[in-house]
């Protein structure tokens, strides 16, 4: 039997195997060096790579090539050119030059730049990222690229991620050298777990809110929601199963290591998780996965909904960013070690993360902030907007005993002098995964659970890498000058734990008590995007990014502007969609239904003993509710008309005035929905959408 994985895995990728086969030895080695050490590639080598890529792509049926990049719109962008460069004696000339591989010019004016590009300099350029393999998608050779302004500012999510990986490589190597560890380099790794909903395409097409905003803006609670929790890991329905199979195959061809597919807690919600890879590739692959989720869903008569909160009252979707750091030789630096030295090194990396998360809570919050994710964070289903860290009971006890200088009372009592004695080989905390924590240590990696399902993992991963690099740099400064390394190390670890205890929390992150407790501890509680965003420009944050060479002040200002604009635009579109749906669909549907009822009443008038209790009641309640709804809609309309430019002030106004007005309008409409006959209702209901698929 042919096996789909062994036969097709990576078949659409210009990967290491293909390069080895097709590139001259010197070109292959030069390219490998570039990939591993970031050394610039000689233009003559680029030409050889380009021509090998072209031949390979043409054999695979590709007719076009494109620089594939990730502007700050959140989705990927492409501009296709065909390989055709002319003809000679009736034969087509197919060309792809080194310079076309390395650099592309693009009219950047339609991509968000937050004022970085003055309008007269609309051009941007894309630059080949040789660390992420080129691939073929729909007969087009796609070259992963970074996207920058003409003066070199990053306009995308990839550039800062690559910079943060470089920073971490530099810092981690230096720290490791203090432990006598030689390594070719250090990389961050990610394995993003992606949640999504599958909705029947015909039903989706009848919901303007899903079409325009990605989420439902109206919808009464169905008789059955997720209370039975019978969907989680449940049997996959036939249609979903065949969708997943198809999706896996497409992903495998592109070299994406799709591994786990299962149902999630909410009805019609699912998850896909790959095997982890280096952060840059994981991020590219996650973008590809989101794209393929949408495409393959279409083929199977579904619409894949990636919004963070498509249905009120039903769990939203996140994207857990599993994150670790490892050497090129494959040693995971968050893996507790076996020898005292290894353990001391592990503890140093661990406390660097603890300190980093504590000091840059606000940046981590910003890295996951969006209008969509605001509905999730702080709801009773996703980690709260308060950033804290879960280590599990055992590791927490170990850290405590280090601070107290006491004996560790765990399973095998061992004196806890760092660097001298053996750290107990503690078990991974598998029993209590504590799903309520936004940032959990899960044995040999961290799981950041706050990112939203539609966002790019590049953003939070960039923050994590930069923050860790910065903490390691400060540790290096302290340790490298120390007379007695072991003593200095022990002091540093103790002090860091003591000073950053506030961020550690193993309890229930969903509880009200935690909100109060976090406030007592002085932790940030940045509930909404407008609350979080201004922190991008806090001095400590700007300084840290500058020190690590990850963002310039200008780039941060532009990002702040872009995120702010995006937030305001999203809410405005939602408000306008609600007004449109109310005016054109919902209120007219109520009128039709009421007319029907009144026809019944007047038709039966004069017939003795007929009461028409239902009809008259409905007429009274519905006309009163629809008047109320109409007034609320008018109010929202006035508020929306008066909206100004997309500033912080407008964003605050969205949060404080517009969103509550939208919720108010929704409340009336949802009540009306429970009263109007289903066949008069203009939209598929929650019940139909969530439970329809067989
Ligand atoms: P679960 O969270 O469901 O128990 P796992 O812990 O096995 O599943 O993995 C969840 C995700 O974390 C997967 O995508 C996996 O590849 C990823 N992962 C595992 N190890 C690492 C690592 N060292 N670095 C980054 N991601 C990792
Ligand atoms: Mg998980």
pLDDT tens per residue across span 62-74: 999 999 999 988 7
With a 6 Å cutoff on the Cβ, whether 445 touches ligand 1 is: yes
CA distance 274 to 593: 50
Q: Which of 315-329, 368-382, 405-419 has the lowest mean pLDDT?
A: 405-419
95 CA to centre of ligand 2 in angstroms = 45
**Per-residue pLDDT at 341:** 73
Is 281 close to ligand 1, i.e. is its CB under 6 Å away?
A: no
Q: State whether the beta carbon of 65 lies less than 6 angstroms from ligand 1.
A: no
Q: CATH assignment of 164-415+427-551?
A: 3.30.590.10
Q: Is 694 in contact with 647 (CB distance < 8 Å)?
A: no
Mutate-to-test residue for ligand 1 from 168, 262, 273, highest number of ligand atoms within 8 A of CB: 273
191-205, 219-233, 342-356, 583-597: least confident range:
219-233
Question: Does residue 371 carry a pLDDT above 50?
Answer: yes
- As a whole number of angstroms, the distance between CA 363 and CA 533 comes to 9
Question: Using CA atoms, how far apart are residues 452 and 117, in angstroms rounded to an integer?
Answer: 28
When the candidates are 3.30.420.40, 3.30.930.10, 1.20.120.1560, 3.40.50.150, the CATH number that belongs to 567-691 is: 1.20.120.1560
Supply the pLDDT for residue 637: 98
Report d(CA 25, CA 78) in Å as an integer. 31
Q: Please say whether the structural domain 4-156 has been given the CATH code 3.30.70.1060.
A: no
Mutation probe of ligand 1 site: the residue of 186, 232, 276, 323 with most atoms within 8 A of C-beta: 276
**440 ligand 1 Cβ < 6 A:** no
pLDDT digits over 653-694, tens only? 999 999 999 999 999 999 999 999 999 999 999 999 998 755
Calculate ∠ Cα 677-305-156, nearest 5°: 145
pLDDT score recorded for residue 645: 94
Give me the pLDDT at residue 152, please.
85
Please give the model's pTM, rounded to 2 decimal places.
0.94
Measured in angstroms, how far is the CA atom of residue 424 from the centroid of ligand 1?
24
pLDDT tens digits, residue range 297-356? 999 999 999 999 999 999 999 999 999 999 999 999 999 877 777 788 999 999 999 999
User: Is pLDDT above 60 for 429?
Assistant: no
Q: Closest-lying ligand to the alpha carbon of 195?
A: 2
Q: How many helices (H) and strands (E) does the chain have?
A: 25, 17
For residues 565-583, average pLDDT: 97
pLDDT in the model for residue 356: 98
Across the range 203-231, mean pLDDT stands at 88
Backbone angles phi, psi at 244, to 5 degrees: -65, -35
Distance of CA 392 to the CA centre of its chain: 25
- Sign of the Cα torsion 233, 238, 242, 243 reads negative
**Ligand 1 within 6 A of CB of 189:** yes
Alpha helices in 60-157 (DSSP H): 98-102
Give the residue extent of every domain in the chain.
4-156, 164-415+427-551, 567-691
- Is any ligand 1 atom within 6 A of the Cβ of residue 191? yes
Q: How far is the CA of 193 from the centre of ligand 2 (A)?
A: 7
SS3 label, residue 365? helix
Q: Is the CB of 278 under 6 A from ligand 1?
A: no
324: CA distance to ligand 1 center in Å?
9
Contact 357, 387 (CB under 8 A): yes
Q: pLDDT at position 381, please?
A: 80
């Amino acid at each position: 039997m042919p096996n789909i994985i062994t036969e097709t895995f990576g078949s659409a990728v210009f990967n290491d195997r293909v390069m080895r086969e097709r590139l001259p030895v010197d070109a292959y080695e030069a390219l490998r060096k570039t990939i591993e050490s970031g050394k610039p590639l000689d233009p003559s080598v680029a030409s050889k790579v380009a021509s090998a890529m072209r031949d390979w792509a043409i054999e695979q049926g590709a007719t076009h090539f494109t620089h594939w990049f990730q502007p700050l719109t959140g989705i990927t962008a492409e501009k296709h050119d065909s390989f055709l460069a002319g003809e000679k004696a009736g034969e087509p000339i197919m060309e792809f030059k080194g310079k076309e591989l390395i650099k592309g010019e693009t009219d950047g004016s339609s991509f968000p730049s937050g004022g970085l590009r003055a309008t007269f300099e609309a051009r941007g350029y894309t630059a080949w990222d040789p660390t992420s393999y080129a691939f073929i998608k729909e007969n087009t050779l796609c070259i992963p690229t970074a996207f920058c302004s003409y003066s070199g500012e990053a306009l995308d999510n990839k550039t800062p991620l690559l910079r943060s990986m470089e920073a971490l490589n530099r810092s981690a190597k230096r720290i490791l050298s203090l432990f006598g560890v030689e390594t070719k380099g250090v990389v961050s790794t990610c394995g993003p777990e992606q949640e999504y909903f599958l909705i029947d395409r015909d039903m989706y097409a009848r919901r303007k809110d899903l079409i325009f905003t990605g989420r439902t803006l109206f919808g009464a609670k169905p008789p059955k929601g997720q209370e039975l929790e019978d969907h989680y890991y449940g049997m996959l329905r036939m249609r979903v199963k065949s969708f997943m199979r198809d999706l896996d195959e497409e992903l495998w061809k592109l070299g994406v290591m799709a591994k786990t597919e299962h149902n999630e807690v909410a009805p019609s919600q699912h998850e896909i998780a790959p095997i982890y890879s280096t952060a840059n590739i994981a991020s590219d692959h996650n973008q590809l996965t989101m794209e393929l989720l949408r495409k393959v869903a279409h083929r199977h008569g579904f619409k894949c909904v990636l919004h963070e909160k498509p249905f009120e009252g039903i769990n939203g979707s996140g994207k857990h960013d599993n994150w670790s750091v490892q050497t090129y030789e494959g040693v995971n630096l968050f893996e507790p070690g076996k020898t005292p030295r290894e353990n001391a090194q592990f503890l140093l990396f661990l406390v660097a993360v603890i300190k980093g998360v504590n000091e840059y809570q606000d940046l981590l919050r910003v890295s996951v902030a969006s209008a969509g994710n605001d509905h999730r964070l702080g709801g009773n289903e996703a980690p709260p907007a308060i950033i804290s860290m879960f280590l599990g009971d055992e590791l927490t006890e170990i850290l405590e005993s280090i601070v107290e200088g006491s004996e560790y009372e765990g399973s095998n009592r061992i004196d806890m002098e760092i660097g001298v004695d053996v750290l107990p080989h503690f078990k991974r905390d598998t029993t209590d995964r504590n799903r309520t924590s936004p940032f959990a240590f899960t044995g040999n990696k961290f799981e950041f659970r706050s990112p939203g399902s539609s966002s790019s993992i590049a953003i939070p991963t960039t923050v994590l890498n930069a923050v860790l690099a910065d903490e390691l740099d400060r540790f290096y400064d302290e340790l490298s000058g120390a007379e007695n390394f072991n003593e200095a190390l022990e002091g540093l670890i103790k002090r860091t734990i003591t000073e950053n205890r506030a961020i550690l929390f193993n309890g229930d992150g969903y509880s009200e008590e935690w909100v109060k407790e976090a406030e007592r501890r002085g932790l940030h509680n940045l509930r909404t995007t407008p609350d979080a965003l201004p922190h991008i420009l806090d001095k400590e944050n700007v300084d840290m990014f500058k020190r690590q060479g990850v963002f310039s002040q200008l780039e941060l200002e532009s990002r702040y502007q872009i995120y702010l604009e995006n937030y305001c635009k999203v809410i405005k579109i939602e408000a306008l969609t609600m007004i449109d749906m109310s005016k054109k669909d919902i209120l007219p549907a109520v009128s039709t239904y009421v007319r029907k009822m009144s026809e019944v009443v007047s038709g039966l008038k004069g017939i003795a003993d007929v009461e028409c209790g239902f009809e008259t009641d409905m007429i009274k309640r519905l006309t009163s509710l629809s008047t109320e709804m109409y007034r609320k809609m008018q109010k929202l309309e006035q508020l929306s008309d008066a909206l100004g430019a997309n500033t912080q002030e407008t964003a605050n106004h969205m949060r404080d005035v517009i969103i509550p007005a939208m919720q108010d309008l929704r409340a009336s409409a949802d009540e009306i929905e429970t009263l109007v006959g289903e066949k008069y209702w203009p939209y598929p209901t929650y019940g139909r959408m969530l439970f329809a698929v067989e």
